[in-house]
Structure 1
Amino acid sequence: MTLRPDLAIIADHVARGARVLDVGCGDGALMAALRDTRDVDARGLELDAANVARGVARGLPVVQGDADSDLAGYPDDSFDYAILSQTLQTCHAPDRVLDELLRIGRRAFVSFPNFAHWRVRLSLLWGGRMPVTPLLPEQWYDTPNIHHVTIDDFRAFLSRRDVAVEGAWFLSRGTRRTDAGANLLAEHAVFLLRR
């Protein structure tokens, strides 16, 4: 099974045998890869009922829940890693969700689309319309993305909250790129965080 590029980065950096909570786990692709290749005890929380069913059909412990409201019930430090992949920008209160991730996980992976990528900027500048790209395929009125975060916004947010960055990876067309100019040139970002 081939993982989405941001999920592959996360999978490569999760320690063997770790306990993981994948928040917004989709159909459980990352959880299955971690279970099968890294002997990880992975749990999932997913809003979409069809994705919950797909995860459960794979033999994964996935429950239906909402990142905005259902993380408070998890005990402090109950996981080695809490993962929020391509979900931060869909949360109603991403600041509170990040606080919860760092409370229940000793470390947190967060990945998101970079809304400052040059194609997004160009679409707004020349067309005057919200961009529709292969990575952001929805129209403005049906997108789940309610917070348009950029790499530089996220870094400033982490700095104000005294969150340490243990690792950061940037992707363009699924390929890793350097940190240089990432806010303009990277389509996606993946961060490994800790308090």
Structure 2
Amino acid sequence: MPAPGGLDPAGAGPLRSDLEVIASLVREGTRVLDLGCADGTLLQMLIDRKQVTARGVEITYEGVLSCVSRGIPVDHADLDRGLGDYPDNSFDYVILSQTLQAVHKPDLVIREMLRVGRVGIVSFPNFGYWYVRTRLLLTGRMPKSDYLPFEWYDTPNIHLCTISDFVELCRKQKIVIDKALYLNDGRRIRWFPNLLAKVAVFVVRRP
């Protein structure tokens, strides 16, 4: 899966801030599945830092080849078709970083990730960020920014959502939110995150 949020997963520049946060949330020696793992940057970091048993799922051939070149086990698959090849509770963590908004069935993907994993970690760009709201209001056009750089006609982002939208989805699906972290260029946002945060990271699980 390409980096839908427009943030570089390959590390050609500063490492994406949400990846650092996600890595800090994973315990050492655990089993980790990364959905939409791109080139395997996050999994490689978790292997090096946390000695995890890692596996990725990626839809692009470029991403799959990059993971293979790193020696990371990866499955070439479409997340919208579900995770039927994986048994229940087969991973300690299932990660969905900057990919939720690029799948056709976000609710299905989240249900599946919590079926195969004990804990889910989800990050996504916040479409409720004040700059996005202002650009839409003032220009009447789909906004672009450093973390949403695409034109409306070529964007991989097909289900953009706000932080409040995601919280409501979790409520409807009876998903427990254990932790929520909000970021703006690497800084933690503690007040009015739906307005002031560019990116959100949620730790979720089944009841």
Q: Give the structure-2-normalised TM-score.
A: 0.91
- Percent of aligned positions with the same letter in both sequences? 51
Partners of 2:31 and 2:15 in 1: how far apart?
Answer: 20
Moved over 2 A (4+): none
Match for 1:96 among 103, 108, 114?
A: 108
Unmatched runs of 5 consecutive residues or more in structure 2: 1-10
Among candidates 66, 80, 92, match of residue 92 of structure 2: 80
Q: 2:82, 2:112 within 8 Å by CA — same for their partners in 1?
A: no
Q: Is residue 184 of structure 1 aligned with residue 195 of structure 2? A: yes
1:148 deviation in Å? 1.6
Q: 1:132 aligns with which of 135, 144, 154?
A: 144
Pairwise CA distance, 1:70 = 4.3
Matched, 1:45 2:79: no
Structure 1 residue 146 corresponds to structure 2 residue 158: yes
CA drift of 1:138 comes to 0.5
State how many pairs are aligned.
Answer: 194
What is the alpha-carbon distance in structure 1 between the residues aligned to residue 186 and residue 63 of structure 2?
Answer: 23
Matched, 1:121 2:133: yes
TM-aligned CA deviation for residue 160 of structure 1:
1.4
Report if the CA contact (8 A) 1:3-1:30 is conserved.
Answer: no
One-letter identity of the residue aligned with 1:191: F
**What is the distance in 2 between the residues matched to 1:134 and 1:54?**
25
Note the C-alpha offset of 1:79.
0.2
Asked if 2 retains the 8 angstrom alpha-carbon contact of 1:3 and 1:29, the reply is no
- Is contact 2:59-2:77 (8 Å) kept? yes
For 1:3 and 1:72, the matched residues in 2 are separated by 32
Whole-Å separation in 2 of the counterparts to 1:83 and 1:72: 17
| Aligned twin of 2:176 | 164
CA distance in 2, matches of 1:136, 1:174: 16
Q: Which runs of 5+ in 1 are unaligned?
A: none
Deviations 1:17-46 (A, max 9, x none): 000000000110110010011010010001
Q: Tell me the SS of whatever aligns to 1:42.
A: strand
**Matched letter for residue 203 of structure 2:** L
> So what's the TM-score if we normalise by structure 1?
0.97
Paired residue type of 1:185: L
Cα RMSD after superposing both structures = 1.0
Q: Which residue of 1 aligns with 2:32?
A: 20
